């Protein structure tokens, strides 16, 4: 493969990987680790069980995580960079449509829904963000790491991209860690360097957050049961993001295993697996994912197209 071909493949791999993780993980969203172990690991697409937020979606269909990630990518492409007003306008419109749709309204998280209501009532994006440190801005942040090639710019724009919906230190640190992790993986950095860079930049916004990214790497050889209990798997950014970094670190050269571990972590599995998928795709490229996952994903060609445009416009 040419250098350009390889680079395009990590862009598409990152966004398609995130969508694959999300679509697989929705089957366990809100399910406890104990219940997952009782019924056995999920490793292929299927419907989410009754009571899960994504119960009305079909197999291979992704959730709000990927929808928001696509919006962020489209905004970056249209504005030739991150524009908070444009992105907030897109989120507000998307949210109004999603929350009026019976099959999707349960998917929108607490911070996003409160921010969407505020934005749609005319409140500025500077004031609309929730103070709850949930993971909604981390789960969608990958395109920032694709668009910007300079780590300083990745960090600053990832932080800003969180503000319209998630304006807390923990959530901002989460968005920074994910976007920086994606850029470092694309650049082919070794795992300890990826961890060091992601945690150091996240620490500027929330020191404890950065420490937890380092911890997720240090305990990567410990068993998932103990690690997920220790790191946490709730929708809080300082649980989902470190748990995703653990899956990525534990199976650094085995992306399929990394995603399966994330899908079955318990708790906010769609977001944990979405972030894991973005990191794995950014490192390995789209060819690293099994064909059954690529073929079964809804809108795969559209997501590849968007990722290709981010590649063309990246700076
Ligand atoms: Mg979701």
pLDDT digits (tens, 9 = 90+) for 282-311: 999 999 999 999 999 999 999 999 999 999
How many CA atoms, within 13 angstroms, populate the side-chain half-sphere of residue 282? 33
In this predicted structure, what is the pLDDT of residue 207?
A: 96
- Sorting pLDDT into bands at 50, 70 and 90, what band is 102? confident
CB atoms within 10 A of CB 121: 9
Q: Are 141 and 175 in contact (CB under 8 A)?
A: yes
Q: Where are the domains of the chain?
A: 3-313
Query: Cα of 302 to ligand 1 centre, how many Å?
Result: 19
In this predicted structure, what is the pLDDT of residue 105?
A: 86
Q: Which CATH class is domain 3-313?
A: mainly alpha
In this predicted structure, what is the pLDDT of residue 106?
A: 87
In this predicted structure, what is the pLDDT of residue 253?
A: 97
The rounded mean pLDDT for the chain is: 96
Q: Write the pLDDT tens digit of every residue in 110-133.
A: 899 999 999 999 999 999 999 999
* 38-55: average pLDDT: 94
Q: Cβ-count burial of 159 within 10 angstroms (0-12 exposed, 13-18 middle, 19+ buried)?
A: buried
In this predicted structure, what is the pLDDT of residue 131?
A: 96
Q: Write the pLDDT tens digit of every residue in 193-249.
A: 999 999 999 999 999 999 999 999 999 999 999 999 999 999 999 999 999 999 999
Query: Cα of 4 to ligand 1 centre, how many Å?
Result: 32
- Sorting pLDDT into bands at 50, 70 and 90, what band is 315? confident
In this predicted structure, what is the pLDDT of residue 20?
A: 98
* 250-262: average pLDDT: 98
pTM of the model: 0.98
**Residue 82: pLDDT over 80:** yes
Query: Cα of 3 to ligand 1 centre, how many Å?
Result: 34
- Sorting pLDDT into bands at 50, 70 and 90, what band is 103? confident
Query: Cα of 263 to ligand 1 centre, how many Å?
Result: 12
Q: CA quadruple 262, 264, 267, 268: dihedral positive or negative?
A: positive
Give the residue among 4, 1, 41 at the shortest CA–CA distance from 25: 41
Query: Cα of 178 to ligand 1 centre, how many Å?
Result: 16
* 85-94: average pLDDT: 97
Using DSSP's 3-state secondary structure scheme, residue 166 falls into strand
Query: Cα of 223 to ligand 1 centre, how many Å?
Result: 26
């Amino acid at each position: 493969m040419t250098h350009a071909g390889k680079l395009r493949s990590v862009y598409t791999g990152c966004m398609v990987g995130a969508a694959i993780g999300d679509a697989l993980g929705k089957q366990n969203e809100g399910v406890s680790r104990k219940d997952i172990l009782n019924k056995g690991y999920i490793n292929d697409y299927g419907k989410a069980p009754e009571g899960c937020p994504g119960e009305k979606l079909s197999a291979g269909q992704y959730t709000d995580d990927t929808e928001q990630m696509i919006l962020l990518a489209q905004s970056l492409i249209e504005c030739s960079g991150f524009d908070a007003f444009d992105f907030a306008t897109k989120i507000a419109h998307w949210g109004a449509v999603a929350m009026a749709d019976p099959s999707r309204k349960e998917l929108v998280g607490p911070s996003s829904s409160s921010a969407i209501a505020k934005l749609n009532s005319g409140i500025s994006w500077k004031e609309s963000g929730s103070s709850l440190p949930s993971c909604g801005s981390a789960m969608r942040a990958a395109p920032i790491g694709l668009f910007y090639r300079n780590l300083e710019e990745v960090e600053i724009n990832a932080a800003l991209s969180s503000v319209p919906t998630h304006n807390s230190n923990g959530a901002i640190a989460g968005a920074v860690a994910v976007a920086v992790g994606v850029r470092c993986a694309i650049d082919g950095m070794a795992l300890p360097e990826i961890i060091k860079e992601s945690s150091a930049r996240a620490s500027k916004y929330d020191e404890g957050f950065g420490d937890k990214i380092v911890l997720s790497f240090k305990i990567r050889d410990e068993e998932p049961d103990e690690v997920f209990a220790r790191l946490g798997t709730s929708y809080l950014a300082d649980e989902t993001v470190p748990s995703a970094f653990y899956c990525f670190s534990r199976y650094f050269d085995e992306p399929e295993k990394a995603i399966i571990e994330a899908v079955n972590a318990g708790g906010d599995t769609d977001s944990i697996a979405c972030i894991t998928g973005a990191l794995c795709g950014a490192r390995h490229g789209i060819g690293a994912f099994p064909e059954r996952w690529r073929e079964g994903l809804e809108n795969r060609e559209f997501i590849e197209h968007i990722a290709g445009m981010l590649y063309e416009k990246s700076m």
